[in-house]
Copies of this chain bind each other. A is one copy, B any other.
Amino acid sequence: MDSIILCAGKGERLKPLTENRPKPMIPIAGKPILQHIIEKVEDLVDNIYIVVKYKKEKIIDYFKDYPKVKFLEQGKIDGTGQAVLTAKDYVDNEFLVINGDIIFEDDLRGFLKYKYAIAVKEVENPENFGVVVLDEENNIVEIQEKPKNPKSNLINAGIYKFDRKIFDLIEKTKISKRGEREITDAIKQLIKEEKVKGIKLEGYWNDVGRPWDVLEANKHLLSKINRDIKGKIEENVVIKGNVVIEENAIIKANSVIEGPAIIKKGAVVGPLAYIRPYTVLMENTFVGNSSEVKASIIMKNTKIPHLSYVGDSIIGENCNFGCNTITANLRFDDKPVKVNIKGKRVESVRKLGIIMGDNVKTGIQVSFMPGVKVGSNCWIGASCLIDRDIESNTFVYKKDELIFKKLNW
């Protein structure tokens, strides 16, 4: 038994988080989405074929020492069908196929006993997904693509059990005008020819399509962690709840940490800092004096040294926050925060801060409005109120119109 994990895609909707990494490398609960998936399958299979393309070096570099992992590069033709086909010359007769960008909780052991199976998940908004219709024995009888009037509230959850027959079916599907070959077309044929079991996922499932999905999945996974404190804890530090503090992390004096939270190797917190629930501080991050981080993912090497507040946000790698950088995460009217996703203004959730790429520096006293996206490699000048998205590689600043008067003492 082998497995194929599909990691070639770009993750447009998650920009700027995907500017420097493919979506499966976005860290959730302290590790890349892909690592969560590998941990789900590594005990079940002999080989894990990861199909890469966009920013492939990030994946290869991270997972190259994993014993069962092998990398396959998808060619010119895009799409999930083509991705699966990439593994044709390598995989065993039977294999699992998993989308590389989903967070899910169910054990996959149940899939192995079927020749053909597809995970399905009950959702409230099936019209945005591939809808799956089951018969009484849970065999799939129909697949609808983002239907206006879905025939069920079960959707294709991106986990499959196939045998090599799928390769033949994929090869028979057409390549779309956009140069893509999707797995769905082959599956539509498969359910005509074979019994394909629909396996309902019972646990948490999230396809992490938009930035707030990342935070939501992060929240879910953190709610399952156990307390495990290995780093150095200085005087008068108060740690409540389930907090993971890895080796070589330091919590400096008089800080307060409320779990669930994960603080990775080399991270420094405090003194006098405040880490709130559902926060992940990745490797070598720094959150210093009087700073507060809440329900956010701070990627590695990013520094938030003093008097800053980051809430419900995702901050990329190697960022540096000037003193007193503040994110807002709530509208006055309490409506869902709006975010630009692929050029459209979309309602997200009630509390959302900012989404920031890598290598951004902010000056002192910068304010960010809720839902703002900041591209990579930006400089945000001191005292700016940032109320719109900032493109990558932008220097934005302001000049105060100052009034000068002579004081005659």
Q: Chain A interface (Cβ within 8 Å of chain B)? A: 234-236, 238, 240, 252-256, 271-272, 274, 289-290, 292, 306-307, 309, 322-324, 326-328, 332, 361, 363-365, 367, 369, 377-379, 381-387, 393-409
Contacts and interface: CB of A to CB of B under 8 A. Distances in A.
Nearest to A292: B289
B369 A393 contact: no
B332 A323 contact: no
A395 B311 CA distance: 24
B274 A271 contact: yes
B396 A409 contact: no
A46 to B, nearest CB: 44
Contacts of A234: 238
B307 A326 contact: yes
A182 B268 CA distance: 54
A332 B393 CA distance: 13
Contacts of A400: 384-385, 387, 398
Contacts of A271: 238, 256, 274
Contacts of A290: 272, 274, 289-290, 292, 307
Contacts of A322: 328
Contact of A328 (B323, B332, B395): B323
B309 A309 contact: no
A309 to B, nearest CB: 4
